[in-house]
Amino acid sequence: MNTNHRKKNNKGGSNTALAAVAFQDHMMRNLSLSDPLKKKQIHHGVPKKQLKEVKSVVDSGMRQEGAKTKGASSGAEAKEYVLDQKPQPMTLAQRLGLVEVPDQPLSDLDWRDAKNKSNRRDDSDLPCVICKEEFGLQQQVLLSCSHVFHRNCLQAFERFTGKKTCPMCRKEQYQTRVIHEGAKLHRVKCATRIQACWRGYVVHSWYRKLRQTVPPKDPRLRKKFYEEKLQMITERLLRSFDTKVDAFLAEMDRSITASRDVFKNLEASTLRTITPEEWDGIQLKAVERGKTECPICIMPLHSQDSAQGDAQTPRRTVLLSCTHVFHRVCLEAFEELALAQTKVCPVCRAGYQKRTL
């Protein structure tokens, strides 16, 4: 009897000691306490982080453009990935059933079911519950409870509350996975808006061209249509017609000024009395010119005319103030036939005073 009782006491004590050790190990792991008896490994080599290549601080612009194109090309083929770290191996207390075992990581099939539930509710098409904005191209997080949020919004919510609970269903210790359903729907919406704007522009241009070419059936609109057409035609004619009114008026002013100058010279030459000394100078110039024929009749200035038998009478010559010489008879006939009231020389068209030689 004593031996059996001792065996039972020894067995109960061993179980209690095992449970105590298991609890102690579990608490140390939760509190991240290290074993003081375990020696730390000393690494004398250079850390791997320091072996990385140092990138240039100067921004040339080429690297960012390459990064943008790379991100744009990889955006269509973006892969989903889990954000949670791998769970630590179970402690002795969890293996003995003394502590509740944490949830195991979800498989790809479980994540697919959770995403299908979210898609059936159109969660990715709705705004984020936390910030009330569309997901757009920002990172989107799917929880194991099938609710979706912005990654930044969820992290800010966790920091604010100090615990890991879903903002929708209050589930604790959820798992997170990055998905891209919101980005896909955002691209589809953008493409739809661009196509709608382009089609609207095409239809509007076609309709405006139709209104410009085909007259409407309503009488008032038809009248207005033809009035606009006539106005367009007249404006086009005016634009193609280069009148140059200013240049025409300037030319008229110049002509009038020139005519006034000519009449002033004529009046000055006819009204002023020429002195005998000036007549001598004019006659000298006429002699120097050496003209021996009358410019009107083309006959010699000093020839004789036998008009009355044997009697010979010389033709008289006239000297003009412009130094030209004519037969007196020819000049008088020219003055009678001239239509202008002002006397002008038949050769130089200048006003003159005459003197018989």
112-148: per-residue pLDDT in tens? Answer: 999 999 999 999 999 999 999 999 899 999 998 999 9
Which residues are registered as beta bridge partners of 311? 308
Q: Which residue ranges make up each domain of the chain?
A: 78-179, 187-240, 273-305+313-356
Q: What is the pLDDT of residue 152?
A: 93
Q: What are 308-344's pLDDT values in tens digits?
A: 444 455 678 888 888 889 988 888 888 888 765 667 8
Residue 269 has pLDDT above 70, yes or no: no
Task: Write down the residue that tokens 């000036």 correspond to.
Answer: 278
**What is the arithmetic mean of pLDDT over 138-161?**
92
Q: What is the pLDDT of residue 187?
A: 93
Q: Which two tokens stand for residue 77?
A: 């083929």
Q: What is the pLDDT of residue 35?
A: 54
Q: What are 87-100's pLDDT values in tens digits?
A: 667 677 767 767 76
**What is the arithmetic mean of pLDDT over 61-77?**
47
Residue 177 has pLDDT above 80, yes or no: yes
DSSP 51: G
Identify the weakest region by mean pLDDT among 19-28, 69-78, 105-114, 274-283: 69-78
Q: Which two tokens stand for residue 124?
A: 């990715």
Q: What are 24-47's pLDDT values in tens digits?
A: 776 777 665 455 555 555 544 444
Q: What is the pLDDT of residue 196?
A: 95
**What is the arithmetic mean of pLDDT over 193-208?**
94
User: What would the DSSP string read from start to end of 77-121?
Assistant: TPPPEE-SPPPPPPPHHHHTTSSPPPPPPPPHHHHHHHHHHHHHT
d(CA 321, CA 345): 9
Residue 307 has pLDDT above 80, yes or no: no
Q: What is the pLDDT of residue 102?
A: 66
Q: What is the pLDDT of residue 140?
A: 93
**CA–centroid distance for 258 within its chain:** 56
What sign results for the dihedral spanned by CA atoms 211, 214, 220, 225? positive
d(CA 318, CA 312): 19
Q: Which CATH superfamily is domain 273-305+313-356 in?
A: Zinc/RING finger domain, C3HC4 (zinc finger) (3.30.40.10)
CB 286 within 8 A of CB 325: yes
DSSP 320: E
Q: What is the pLDDT of residue 339?
A: 66
d(CA 133, CA 83): 22
Computed over every residue of the chain, the mean pLDDT equals: 77
Residue 282 has pLDDT above 90, yes or no: no
d(CA 167, CA 154): 8
Of the candidate CATH numbers 3.30.40.10, 3.40.50.1980, 3.40.309.10, 1.20.58.220, the domain formed by 78-179 belongs to 3.30.40.10
d(CA 85, CA 295): 126
Residue 82 has pLDDT above 80, yes or no: yes
d(CA 129, CA 143): 13
Helix, strand or coil, per DSSP, at residue 46: coil
In the chain, at which residue ranges do the beta strands (DSSP E only) sit? Answer: 81-82, 140-143, 148-150, 176-179, 304-308, 311-314, 317-320, 325-327, 354-356
Q: What is the pLDDT of residue 42?
A: 52
Q: What is the pLDDT of residue 66?
A: 46
Q: Which of 356, 292, 285, 282 is nearest to 321 (CA)?
A: 282
Amino acid letter for position 306: S
Residue 198 has pLDDT above 80, yes or no: yes
Tally of residues, the chain: 357
Q: What is the pLDDT of residue 261?
A: 76
Q: What is the pLDDT of residue 183?
A: 92
Contact partners, residue 226, CB within 8 Å, separation at least 6 = 215
**What is the arithmetic mean of pLDDT over 208-221?**
88
d(CA 133, CA 126): 8
φ and ψ of 216, to 5 deg: -75, 165
**What is the arithmetic mean of pLDDT over 254-275?**
74
Q: What is the pLDDT of residue 27?
A: 74
pLDDT > 90: percent of the chain: 22
Stronger pLDDT, 94 or 109, i.e. the higher one? 109
Q: What is the pLDDT of residue 67?
A: 46
**What is the arithmetic mean of pLDDT over 71-84?**
65
Q: What is the pLDDT of residue 28?
A: 73
d(CA 58, CA 43): 34
Q: What are 42-59's pLDDT values in tens digits?
A: 544 444 544 455 454 445
